[in-house]
Amino acid sequence: MTDDLRARMFRDLQSDDLFAAAHDAALRYADGIDARPVFPDAVALDGLAAFDEPLPEAPGDALAVLRQLDTHGGPATVAQIGGRYFGFVNGGVIPATLAVRWLTDFWDQNTPLYVTSPIAAKLETVTEGWLRELFGLPDSCVAGYVSGSSLSIFCGLAAARYRLLERRGWDVNRAGLDGAPRLRLIASREAHGTVGKAVALLGFGSDNVEWIEADAEGRIDAAAVPELDASTLLVLQAGNVNSGAFDDFATLGARAREAGAWVHVDGAFGLWAAAAARLRHLTRGIELADSWSFDGHKTLNTPYDSGVILCRDRDALVGALHAAGAYITWSEHRDGMLYTPEMSRRGRIFELWAALRYLGRAGVDELVEGLHERARQFADELDAAGFEVLNEVVFNQVLIACGDDAATDATLVAIQRSGECWVGGTRWHGQSAIRVSVCSWATTAADVSRAVAAFVAARAASGG
């Protein structure tokens, strides 16, 4: 690097103008979040053509880079930090966590080891204890902080594979899978697609999964689950991605403990029900499982990205994910890379810690219960407006139909184009459905009523 470029970058690092401009643009975005279309309009999308340019030949101006992104990128964002985004299970963002992210982005910590970031290691330990306490899980549980449920499910199933094979005298790390004792993997046909992804990545093979039918609400049929044994990995779900339904953890967890089977709970957004007094009954028996995966960026409303794997068997998780190298400096403190597939990783723990530190137990309870209240309001007001509610609203998911598939699909397109709110589509028991996910602390009763009005107008405009 030339001295001129280095000097320029030092000036940028110390530039009040550059970071003040970023600060002003961010606050302007937040101030206008309720006024902008929830999904970008055609003008905003056409504006993305401003990024179709050749790679610059030489270094440019940092302020110009920022302004280009703000001017042409900002309008083309999805307004998911507002109160009327209900597509997918995308949480909003708690302001305190955004402030912490701004600060810690300057720190730019790499967090695999205590020696690379003592503060990250400390907060990973503290947050691990808080999560065990909130969810009522065993003291032996350890946490790995990853990007999201896709990776945390992978970690949980990897730990299960390691331990179940080890019990049968097979070291999968040394011997691989060729010739390994056969393991059984049992899951619901309503399991999330990330389970299938983990199954493929870990070499189980989707054809080898014992798929179990689900009931009308998407819960695994506990009576249909076959006899379990010590070679079995059973995957259960806390929060069906369509209906929000919860599996029977108490019954199946007890059976698994008796048989020596491993239970993994996919709790991407639903595990947080365990932290709300009025919803905790939905997760009764989760403490009987062996591993749990969930996100902070969904129900808890941390910034993206924030996933967690919790595992009661520390040695199994470490054994499945371990790395070695003469240069690695281990410590007597927490070394976070032991519990994740990643080595280099950003300090996502700062935002998760900040969310829990800011909300406290009562605030988490209020946040989670509030999402359920707004989902119930959605269902009640849409039902009163003549829409068909297809599911029992037990948590934050609502499924809606408008009669036949053509009317439902047309209404969905009209809602999405309106800019008033954004919802997604799905298939449920063979029919088209509109899927409403209430995931943001910012969603008010007025936001829900406004969204319902958009449903009504869209149905009328589409002839549904």
DSSP 86-121: -STT-----HHHHHHHHHHHHHT---SSGGG-HHHH
| Residue 55: per-residue pLDDT | 96
Name the one residue in this structure whose structure tokens are 């029900």.
273
Distance CA 241, CA 155 (A): 20
139 pLDDT exceeds 90? yes
Distance CA 69, CA 75 (A): 10
- Report residue 462's pLDDT band, with 50, 70 and 90 as the boundaries: confident
Mean residue pLDDT of the chain comes to 96
The pLDDT tens digits for 347-399 are 999 999 999 999 999 999 999 999 999 999 999 999 999 999 999 999 999 99
Distance CA 455, CA 464 (A): 10
- Report residue 97's pLDDT band, with 50, 70 and 90 as the boundaries: very high
The correct CATH number of 101-356 out of 3.40.640.10, 3.40.190.10, 1.10.520.10, 3.30.200.20 is 3.40.640.10
- Cβ 192 vs Cβ 241: under 8 Å: yes
Distance CA 99, CA 121 (A): 20
Distance CA 436, CA 439 (A): 9
Q: What is the pairing mode between strands 397-401 and 388-389?
A: antiparallel
Map out the domains of the chain as residue ranges: 101-356
The pLDDT tens digits for 205-233 are 999 999 999 999 999 999 999 999 999 99
Tokens (6 digits) for 301: 């409303």
Our CA angle for 412, 294, 436, nearest 5°, is 15
